[in-house]
């Protein structure tokens, strides 16, 4: 099996969390988070610009994580989140 490199991670089907909010001046902006990478957040003035440009920041984030040996949680990787629906009737 080959090592997982930057290209491998860039081509995964990440879980995007998209939304809109207001900046400190009350102007709207669009953001994209990635569920599997809690430290990832990309903001842009419009939905279209956010979707077009978040990949560059993702590339930089993944490069740092790979260089520092930080575990990269992949989409569909089992996580340790508590399943509250199962625990609480």
31-84 pLDDT per residue, tens = 999 999 999 999 999 999 999 999 999 999 999 999 999 999 999 886 566 555
- Flag whether the pTM goes above 0.85: no
Q: Can you name the residues that pair with 17 across neighbouring β-strands?
A: 33
Strand order in the sheet with 16-22: 16-22, 28-34, 37-44
């Amino acid at each position: 099996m080959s090592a997982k490199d930057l290209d491998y991670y860039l081509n995964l089907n990440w879980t995007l969390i998209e939304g809109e909010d207001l900046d400190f001046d009350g102007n709207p902006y669009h953001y994209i988070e990635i569920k599997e990478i809690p430290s990832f957040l990309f903001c842009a003035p419009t939905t279209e610009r956010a979707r077009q440009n978040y990949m560059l920041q993702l590339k930089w984030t993944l490069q740092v994580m790979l260089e520092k040996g930080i575990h990269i949680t992949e989409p569909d990787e089992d996580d340790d989140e508590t399943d509250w629906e199962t625990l609480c009737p």
